[in-house]
Amino acid sequence: MSQIVKVNYYDAFHCIGSKCPFTCCQEWAISVDEDTLEKWKGVTLETIGIKDEKRATSTLCDCVEKEESEYVIALKKDKTCPFLNKDKLCSVVLGVGEDYLSKTCTTYPRHVHKVGDQEEYSLDFGCPAVIDLIYLEEKGVYFISEGAKAHQPSVLEEVRKMILECIQDETYTLTESILMAYCCLLELIEEEGLSIEVVEAYESKEYLEALVTEMRTMKVEAIDSFWERNEQFLDRIQLYQKDETYTKDIEAYSVLAERLEEYYSDTWLLEKNEAFEMQYQGFEKLLRNYLAAEIWANVLRDHMTLDHMVMVYQWVILEYCAIKQLTFLKWVSEEQRMVDYNMVRDAIMMIARMIAYDQDEIEKCLAYSFEEPILDWGTLALIVGSGKI
C-alpha cells in the first residue's frame, strides 16, 4: 500500500455549494467518465426536476458532447452547466443523488498525484473555499503522512524540500525567497553528480546568507518590472483566450492591461504601484501559503527530471506574478478602495482556473513568451521585481 501524504488542510475542505461566489459549474469543460454515462442513459431531465417541453424525453446523456478524446457536459449559452439550478445547486444531486455525479464533479478540487511510493493529496486553488482554508493557516502549510511505512526521499524530493524551505523562510522577504530558490535550482542543474548531500549544501544557512547578500546588490527598475509583469499577464490571457477558459472579469482586466500605457504615465503608475505594494504586503502569509502548496503539489511528479522541475517552478512563479498584476488591475479600476481579502482571493482563483500544469502545455507557453524554456536568473528577477512581495 502506498504511503499517503496530505497537505495539512486537506481534510478540512468541504464544498460550500450555493454560498460559493464562483461556482465550478461554469465555463469549465467537465469531463464525464464511461461509468457515469452508463448511469445517465436511464435518467431523464424531468427526473432531476428540469422541465423542457422541447426535450420531454431527453436523458442526462443528451447534455453531453464529444470533445477530442473525451465526453464533456455541454454548457449552456451562458457557459453554465445545464444541471445547475437557480439556487446554484446541482439538479443531479438533488434528483438522484451524489452517486450519479461524474468522477470529476465528485473529486474536484481534490487531486492525487503519485511520487515514488507516495500518493500526495492536494487541493486546487480554482476553488475559493480552498483559498479560504490557506488564508486561515497562520502556522503555514505543512504535510501530514498517513501510514507507518518508512519512506526514503529521492534526490528530487530533497530538491522540492529545499525550494519549500526557501519559500517558507520568513527571515527573508517573499521576493528574496522566490529568487533564492530559483538561483539554487539553476546551480543544481549545472552539478555533474546530483545527490542528497549536494542538495543539502544549498540548504545551509551560510550559503543562503551569502546568496541573499549578493542578490541585494542587484536591483531592477520598478517600472521595468511592472511592464514586464503586465506583458506576461497578457501572454497568459492570450494563450487561454482561444479556449475560452477565462471569465468575463478577466477579459475586462486584460483590456485595461492592454491600455495602461495609453491611460497612465510611468510616473503615475509608479506612485500607484508603490501604494499598492504597501497594501499588498498585508497578504504575505496567504501568498507564502499559496506558493508552498502550489509548489508541493506541482513541481514533482513521477518521471520528472530536474529540468522539468525548474520549468514548473518558473510556471508557478509566473502564475504568482499574474495574480499580483490582476490584483493591481482590479485595485486601480476600483478607485479609493483598499486592497482587501476578497480582491486577492478572486485574483488567485481566476488565475488558477486559467493555468494548466501539463508538461507539454507548460513548455509550449514558455516557448511562446521566451526564447528558452528555462529562464536565466535575471529574466525571472525582472518579472518578480525588487519589492518585498
CA–CA distance, 309 with 348 (Å, rounded to integer): 22
Coil, strand, or helix at residue 66?
strand
pLDDT for residue 264 is more than 70: yes
Per residue in 283-310, pLDDT (tens digit) is: 999 999 999 999 999 999 988 999 999 9
Task: Enter the DSSP assignment of 32.
Answer: E
CA–CA distance, 6 with 146 (Å, rounded to integer): 8
Q: Is 164 left (phi over 0), alpha (psi -120 to 50) or beta?
A: alpha
CA–CA distance, 352 with 345 (Å, rounded to integer): 11
- CA dist list (Å): 188 to 29, 117, 160, 307, 376: 39, 24, 12, 10, 13
Mean pLDDT across the chain, nearest whole number?
A: 91
CA–CA distance, 353 with 29 (Å, rounded to integer): 11
Amino acid 56: pLDDT: 56
pLDDT for residue 353 is more than 90: no
pTM, whole model, 2 decimals?
0.93
Per residue in 46-62, pLDDT (tens digit) is: 899 888 756 656 899 99
pLDDT for residue 8 is more than 70: yes
